[in-house]
Chain A
């Protein structure tokens, strides 16, 4: 294809896909030299992927005990139904099971009506869909920083919508403040961008913290006052270490009137909590009928395989299984988290106090040569190529304070985690020694 060739769209040739950012570059380096305890012990350990592998055994056990769930049993006719099934409402048994599962995660404190669920092939698609539906090209969505780097692509690429960061900092544990929200709105106004909504991730990625009730109430008041929408991305809701520490937007909304409720849309997925990202199961739960209707129509571009729905319907309806899974998963994540925090602490590294998620938010500010993005990225590079650890720099998450990094801990075995923490300890010791020498 040496010649110029037929021109493509601007979208195809733009780099809004964001894959040149360090967040993704690190993955590529990992792909080329992946750690393996036996065959490649000096390879890169992947700590930049927020994937949950700590509870696979529970799923595998279930599959072993219920093999018929994963096929169509002896009912060939049920296969036929399933293969032809394309209802945008989703399989009833499945949406009901998902609603129940979401209620369980919230300790039964909320109720979800399956009719308000719109299935999408993953939360990525759900977030993009909402961006299309709630905002027009050129409009803005407020997002508290630091945020998941994928949003830059998922919410903006095809939609033409802008992201207006709401800056949070470590002075108050990165909590979202009214002041920050107001500042962001004023900023949007000054560049003539119309704000249409606020997107929260609760529990937060990359912070690993669940947002508290008073803050959630304040946020809902804020969006009502500004007459905008609220998207609550709760994909890590099942990964809060202690279930009563999670307050869902659904709970807040329960006590509010119709007008406020209609602004709220919850995004969920089975990729994190159930550790099934390959299954491509996500959803939008909206209290707004118009949004549900529109999202359902738009879901034609991103339907969930009927086979997958059927497969998971029984698993998710099995209350005994899900209770046990949720409880065990939480415990294991908590243990991992504590293990990591302790390991990092032994290396003299502080972390933000977290209570959720598949990662922790650590501070390496002391090791920076200069407290800037460049300083952070050069440290990140060193960690990647010398310590052979792929972690995510806070700057790719739009954190304004240099030196913060996200470290994932649930996507590997305990042994690998130990190796990773050792490497981190060695690295920091070396760095500190270097610093001492150069300061002499």
Chain B
């Protein structure tokens, strides 16, 4: 199952050349302002002098030169900030990739020490994006029902803590509540507790963990078993356990083959590794929007792949539109950009809707016709709370005659099993060459072996897992209903969604202007007046302004009225 024998490591240089070209737009303009100008003037003078004489010959090139300077100045990114202490990190504003040209220049010029690469420089500067500002405020002034009732409530985080709450118990307040930050962001987490009641998984652990790690069957105290080098793409036992879990979670209508699994340290590297395998730098993926902001970093950054948003409309309930995909594909083609895959999330993040069988089949038809891949990000598959059934891409393949080698699924345990800290994600591919390449690339993002063993034990306890999945879904359902109904009372409609940790709400009527600017202003108001951090649609590349994602899994039932009251503050003003 080795990759197609091909060229030698000159490929690295070839890939490098492609990559350099892809970056030329970012690095080319910066320092060459004056030089480029001069290169324009001289030939022009020659051209013009023949007809218009000296005057024109000087005027026109000079005018052009000044226009060029003006153009360049407008397109330079803001001057770099002075080096900050390492603690001050912030998330990028997804979708706003600043030209790295200026940074590249100054990284070399401003100090005499060695510069970092231009691809690193482009994200090295701390961002002052709204998203960063919001998350920072959450950590500086975190809400707590007793200690800080006026603090900022974090609703911008798709973390599942409902699995840890036992609804009927009352609060025992121990520590100040802190806002947690999304998996894909950069600030420190201020971890807090709301309840001391036994949670589901913790409970299981209290009963089982000692046996897990001190398992006599694994050879004494099993340090050797735990510690030595293991296959980078995950222990066979874990793949088997995870395959079982996936089958269960996706409601048993499809079974997963462990040999098609590559385990990775979270879904983040899974997506990146897939990207490296399916496309070259400078190629593109079509991504129905609004989409998860993390993709912009995970896929663009090192793999150098462009993401082309394919807008979905509120009139379609933000459902996938094949004609829109078709249009986007053709537009890319006209620009000379090679589309290599369609990437979509199902259940969708941020909208929360599910793709039904027909839509999945249509999508498969589309990618087959175009000769491209499809990546299904199904990380929320087990976190459905609506009445619809979740249908995995794998299930559609089961019943139909499609070329499977173009289908790849991303999954992980961060969402469905609430263990994002443990870093357990995976690629599930039907393409043996991708499996071969990805299993080697997994060495850069391997799952820690003791964590693997812990999960093997936990997942093999099928009784517990069944109960967990069921209870988790019920709690999500309760929280979702509470929040959505409450918002409805305030005149805020949400898209009917069936999965995920959030609701996708329309707050456009409260914007001062129906525009991106209006949306960001409303977002700021929510943050500063309502002291609530939401994710604005712009961050998700939503083309219709005014949509916001509200995550509810960091809340308890008692928090919901507080959240609604806060939102009311802003709503009442409009």
Binding site for B on A (CB under 8 A): 1, 3, 5-6, 8-17, 19, 49, 51, 53, 56, 59-60, 63-64, 67, 70-72, 74, 76-77, 79-89, 115-116, 121-122, 124-125, 128, 132-139, 152, 154, 156-158, 160-162, 196-197, 223, 227-229, 259-260, 262-263, 275-281, 288-294, 296-298, 300-308, 311
Contact = CB atoms under 8 A, between A and B. Distances in A.
Contacts of A259: 111-113
B62 interface: no
A121 B448 contact: yes
B228 A278 contact: yes
Given A15-B3, A64-B221, A306-B421, A289 B83 contact: yes
B114 interface: yes
Nearest to A62: B223
A80 B193 contact: yes
B441 interface: yes
B9 interface: yes
A112 B214 CA distance: 33
B528 to A, nearest CB: 26
B118 to A, nearest CB: 6
Contacts of B454: 307
A293 B406 contact: no
Interface string B1-40: 0011111110111111111100100000000000000000
B421 A82 contact: yes
Contacts of B560: none
Contact of B227 (A158, A227, A279): A279
Given A15-B8, A86-B183, A278 B229 contact: yes
A82 B202 CA distance: 11
Nearest to A116: B86
Nearest to B119: A136
A88 B221 CA distance: 31
Given A157-B12, A259-B113, A5 B421 contact: no
Contact of A67 (B120, B214, B265): B214
A116 B213 CA distance: 32
Nearest to B9: A16
A263 B227 contact: no
Interface stretch (B270-278, B392-400, B482-490): B270-278
B209 interface: yes
A303 to B, nearest CB: 5
B93 interface: no
Given A13-B433, A76-B199, A311 B265 contact: no
B191 interface: yes
B302 A15 contact: no
B221 A278 contact: no
Contacts of A139: 117
Interface in B427-472: 431-434, 437, 440-441, 443-451, 454
Contact of B434 (A8, A124, A275): A8
Given A11-B15, A83-B421, A278-B448, A76 B202 contact: yes
B268 A300 contact: yes
- Report, nearest first, the 5 A-B pairs whose CB atoms are least far apart: A306-B421, A160-B16, A278-B449, A137-B16, A76-B202
Contacts of B96: none
Contacts of B301: 298
Interface residues of B, number: 118
Contact of B423 (A262, A277, A304, A311): A304
A97 B133 CA distance: 32
Given A13-B4, A135-B117, A136-B23, A84 B420 contact: yes
A115 B87 contact: yes
19 contacts: A11-B276, A14-B6, A15-B9, A59-B223, A63-B221, A67-B214, A79-B202, A80-B193, A85-B421, A115-B85, A133-B116, A136-B117, A139-B117, A160-B19, A227-B113, A277-B228, A280-B449, A293-B86, A294-B120
B86 A278 contact: no
A90 B223 CA distance: 23
B184 interface: yes
Nearest to A281: B448
Contacts of B297: 300
Contacts of B421: 82-86, 305-307
Which of A9, A88, A156 is packed against the most chain B CB atoms within 10 Å?
A: A9
A262 B13 contact: no
A160 B209 contact: no
Contact of B440 (A19, A84, A138): A19
Contacts of A307: 421-422, 448, 450-451, 454
A234 B318 CA distance: 52
A8 B120 contact: no
A225 to B, nearest CB: 11
B279 interface: yes
B60 interface: no
A158 B114 contact: no
A71 B114 CA distance: 44
B55 interface: no
Nearest to B438: A12
Contacts of B119: 132, 136
B491 interface: no
A121 B113 CA distance: 29
B205 interface: yes
B431 A279 contact: no
Which of A51, A121, A124, A302 is packed against the most chain B CB atoms within 10 Å?
A: A121
B168 interface: no
Given A15-B6, A134-B116, A289-B86, A89 B433 contact: no
B372 to A, nearest CB: 7
